[in-house]
Amino acid sequence: MLIRAVESYLAVRQACGFDLRCVGSFLRSFVRFSKARKKDYVCAATAIEWAGLAPSVRQRARRLGHVIRFARYLHAEDPRHEIPPAVFGSEDWPRSIPYIFSRRDVARLVQAASESGDRTLRRYTYSTLFALLACTGLRVSEAIRLRFEDIIVDGLVIRCSKFRKSRLVPLHDTVRAGLERYLERRRPYAPFDEHVFVSLRRKPLLIEDINAAFRTAADKIGVRRGPGLPRPTPHSLRHTFAVRALEACPHDRERITQHMVALSTYLGHGTVKETYWYLQATPELMRNIAERCEGFVARGRS
């Protein structure tokens, strides 16, 4: 009975656009666990016992969260299904503050990538890739999947990325010019592969190769890390783009809201709250928030 309910639940949520590959494996594991204990309905105690098998509190909360949502779906039609309490706490753990590059360090990183390794296409590939990430805020995975056909007059077409969303990313003239210079060198190198960025193996880039090239360039320019600060990664270039865009945001309240929605759409965020997370990324943004709040309170008292 429960296994049929799982398949029905997954079908409904997938029809709504959710990617549930991991969720499905978790719920099928829970059903097998329940069946071994001869439970035909969702039992809160059984769910907590099953979730408690995970090695960390965070993983336990995540596993139990999947069952809670599943139980709510079933309980709406059959109250014999129990909705477990969230005994392991919230699934939403606070995100760490991202590493943000200075404008000077972004330029130095790109330059270092253009001088690292042998004088081959590799230099142009990674310097262009890092520059593109910094100028557009693309995810690394999105840049890896770019094909020639995705470069159009209006910008870059990002197809079925995270959350199964597609979007158009406009390109500044200088970014387009830099990309075209790279493609002039890259096209003869691997003419039968349609990916924009390719390795020396004439295949699409691998994330581990990108990470290695990034570390080499970052070490070369001596990227500094204070105690307790995050480690810079290629994804830090996306974070940096988002923060600089927020720092340029107009101060008018209505325009701030419009700016946030536009930036969230541009970055391909699932919800706008993911964009608001960047407000805590730099002292400048925190100071701006404090000043706006002080002004708002002062006006309310006058």
191 three-state secondary structure:
coil
> Tokens representing 78?
């059959």
Query: How many CB atoms sit inside 10 A of residue 201's CB?
Result: 10
Residue 217's Cα: distance from chain center in Å? 23
Task: Using alpha carbons, select from 244, 245, 243, 262 the residue that is nearest to residue 254.
Answer: 262
The residue type at 293? C
Which residues carry out catalysis?
139, 162, 235, 238, 269, 278
Distance (Å, whole) CA 196 – CA 33:
46
| CA dist list (Å): 76 to 55, 72, 227 | 31, 6, 50
- What 216-221 contacts at long range (C-beta under 8 Å, 24+ apart), as own/partner pairs, is 216/112, 216/113, 216/116, 216/117, 217/109, 217/110, 217/112, 217/113, 217/116, 217/126, 217/130, 218/109, 218/112, 220/112, 220/115, 220/116, 221/105, 221/108, 221/109, 221/112
> Tokens representing 162?
């995270």
Distance (Å, whole) CA 272 – CA 276:
7
